[in-house]
Structure 1
Amino acid sequence: MVVRYYQDLLRFCSHNVKDADAARDVVQETYARFLAAQRDGDPPAIQPGAVLRQIAKHLLVDRHRRAVVRAHESIDELQEFEQPAAPRHLQPEEALASMQVIRAYVGVIESLPQRCREAFVLHVFDGLPHAQIAQRMGISYSMVEKHIVRAMVACKNCERAQAASTKRTGDRTL
């Protein structure tokens, strides 16, 4: 029954694709999807020719979209100055700066008094609430708050120092 639409569908696809083999592939996929829909229990089409053409249109659009996505120059063929740069976080200078910031924060945390550092690590890295930290360390809730505030102030001062250092470095490169 739907075989009679084959030639019309092939002409339609050939007109849009300009490649006989590709047009035949689209028609074949169109019929495969049409028959799969019928097998899956979709009601029979009142106008199978229109349904086939609609499926073919969708397949042609998908084919065009894939072709657009794939249409790019090989990175190996680009001149060095035309090649895209690596993402900023992968740039050597950025990675070095990140490591320096991490080392500065680790240094600040390590320089805290032992009990203060312990409370801060339990709160920030282990995610424990103040009450659990107080219980675990055997100190008051108020003392936990003081330790954490002291550590956060130290980290904030480190952040300010890093920002000032970055600003001074940025000024020299201008």
Structure 2
Amino acid sequence: MSTSGSVLPSAVAAPSVATLYVDHHSWLKSWLHRRLGSAEHAADLAQDTFLRLLNSERIPAQLDEPRAYLTTVAKNLMSNHWRREKLEQAYLDALAHAPRDVGLSPEARAMMLETLVELDRLLDGLPPIVRQAFLLSQLDGHTHAQIAQELAISVPTVKRYLVKALQRCYFADLSFVG
């Protein structure tokens, strides 16, 4: 109580993930099912949404629109899901067009795909032109001059972009050590 006799409003506690799950899981799963067309993928992404919340320390203190918040998290996960599917399909297409004597074992293919998905995850959040410069350098073997010409940027800019992408990969790797 304040000295003027008025009562200060009490802070609204952040909803727990358990409360959000109980109140909105079935709705979120239905929402995802309508967008994905697959009950199985919808169930997986709904679970992933709540796992993301459990691992996050950023649930707002006051959540006026919990469904809007959940859909934002779920949309990000859907975007990642579709990007992984496109990456996997591009990889499978490349394998289909590769010479037959390249014969990779299923284990080697799985490891290669896992590496591509991890690389995609590490580069997520970088501007598209930085990602493109990095991929042209690392996957296509282009020189800095070739990348500069293809992207219509200067060679020093190419170098800055490559450093930025390499730093992202290097420091992400270090974060798993601790």
Q: TM-score, normalised by structure 2?
A: 0.39
> What TM-score results when the alignment is normalised by the length of structure 1?
0.40
Instruction: Point out the structure with max Rg over C-alpha.
Output: 1
